[in-house]
Amino acid sequence: MAQCAAAAATSGDVNGDGKTKRKVAIITGITGQDGSYLAEFLLAKGMRRVILVFCNVLTVTRLNTEIDLGNAAHDDITIPYPTVQCVWQISFDLAEYTADVDGVGTLRLLDAVKTCGLTDTVRFYQASTSELYGKVQEIPQKETTPFYPRSPYGAAKLYAYWIVVNFREAYNLFAVNGILFNHESPRRGSNFVTRKISRSVAKIHLGQLQCFSLGNLDSKRDWGHAKDYVEAMWLMLQQEEPIDFVIATGEVHSVREFVEKAFKHVGKTIVWEGKNEEEVGRCQETGEIHVKVDPKYYRPTEVDFLQGDSSKALKIIGWKPRVTFEELVKEMVDADIELMRNNPNA
C-alpha cells in the first residue's frame, strides 16, 4: 500500500474476552505511522504474531522484511526506514506507480487470499481515505457521499475501494474499507503538513530555524489522532458483518489555524500580513517573520475542504475520537521539541 497507509489482514475473531482467537496479522505499509500504531495496538490486544510488510515506495521493494514481534515493545524493533516523499508529490509525479501500488496492489492481496483458499478465514482491512471525496459533493462527507478524487492517489484508492466491495460481494470475503480522514501524530511523515509545521515550530522555538514555507494556508482538514484511528480499524474487523465506515472527528480546521495553534503552544502569537503568495506570518511578540507562502507547495488539483461524518461508526461499532485538535497539536509540537533538542538534525 502507500507509504502512509496500513492494511491488515487477519484471521482473528472475537473470543468474548476481547482478544482474538487466531492471532496472526499482516500489516502493509509499516514505515508509515499507522502501521506502527496498529502493530502495537494488536499486540496489546493479544495478537501473538504480527507480520510487518515493508513497502518502499521509491524502489518498489515489497515484502522484504518479516518480523516476529513476540511480546517485544515496538521501540525495540529496528525497521529500515526508506526515503519517503510526500504522498501527493509521488502521486502526481509517479501516477502509474501510484495506481500499481495503491490500486492494483490491493487487488493482488485480495487475489492472494482467494488463490490460497482463505476467503472463509481471512479478514481484510483496506486503508481507504477521505481523498476519495476530493472535490466534495456534500458537506459533511459520509458513507453515501459520491466520490470525486482529485489526484492519481485518490483515483487509485477509488479502485481499491471498489475491488474490496467486489471481493466481498463476489466471494463472501470479510473485506472492509475504512474511509479514514486525515489522522496525525508525532510519527507522521515530515512532509505532511501537520508534521512539517510541528517540526518547524519546534526548531524555531529552540532557535534552530527562523522561517519556513507552506503552500495553501486556507486548505481545511478534519484532523484526528492516528492512535484513535487504528482502534477503528480493529473494531471494523471484529464485527459480524463486513461494513465500510467513515472515520473522522467531524471538526474542521485550516492549515492556518494549525500554524497559529502550534506557535501559541510555544508562546508566540502569529499575525498574518499580505495576500496570496506575498502572505507572511509574523510573530507579534518579536516582529520576526516565521512563515512564508511558497507556490511550489501548491497542488495541480487541490482538495480544499474535508469534513467527515462518522455517526454510522459511532452507532454500529461504538467508535468515537478521544484526542481533541488542541491536544493533537500540543502533543506533536512537544514531541518535536524533545526530538530536536536531542538531535537538531532529526
Q: Which residues bind ligand G4F (CB under 6 A)?
A: 4, 86-88, 129-131, 181-182, 191-194, 196, 214-216, 219, 221, 255, 297, 299, 302-303, 306
Pick the closer one to ligand G4F by CB: 4 or 233: 4
Centre a 10 Å sphere on the Cβ of residue 342 and count the other Cβ atoms it contains.
Answer: 8
* Residue 92 parent element (H or E): helix 87-93
In residues, how long is the chain?
A: 346
Residues β-bridged to residue 133: none
Q: Is 125 a catalytic residue?
A: no
CA 273 to each of CA 248, 292, 293: distance values in angstroms, whole numbers, following the listed order: 32, 10, 11
Which residue is catalytic, options 125, 133, 153, 229? 153
Q: How far is the CB of 291 from ligand G4F (least distance, A)?
A: 10
Q: Is 297 a catalytic residue?
A: no
Task: Give the Cα separation of 342 and 198 in Å (integer).
Answer: 16
**Please, what is the Cα angle at 263 between 258 and 264, to 5 degrees?**
95
Task: Give the Cα separation of 127 and 164 in Å (integer).
Answer: 11
- Burial bucket for residue 16 (CB in 10 Å: 0-12, 13-18, 19+): exposed
Pick the closer one to ligand G4F by CB: 20 or 216: 216
Q: Is 131 a catalytic residue?
A: yes
Taking alpha carbons only, the member of 26, 94, 29 closest to residue 62 is: 29
Q: Tell me if the bond preceding 140 is cis, omega within 30° of 0.
A: yes
Q: How far is the CB of 158 from ligand G4F (least distance, A)?
A: 12
* Residue 201 parent element (H or E): helix 193-205
Task: Give the Cα separation of 236 and 50 in Å (integer).
Answer: 18
Residues 6+ apart with CB under 8 A from 51: 24, 25, 26, 27, 66, 67, 68
Which residue is catalytic, options 98, 106, 131, 194? 131
Q: How far is the CB of 190 from ligand G4F (least distance, A)?
A: 9
Sequence-distant contacts of 106-110: CB under 8 A, at least 24 apart: 106/1, 106/7, 106/159, 106/160, 106/163, 106/164, 107/159, 107/160, 107/163, 109/7, 109/9, 109/28, 110/163, 110/164, 110/167, 110/173, 110/175
Tell me the catalytic residues: 129, 131, 153
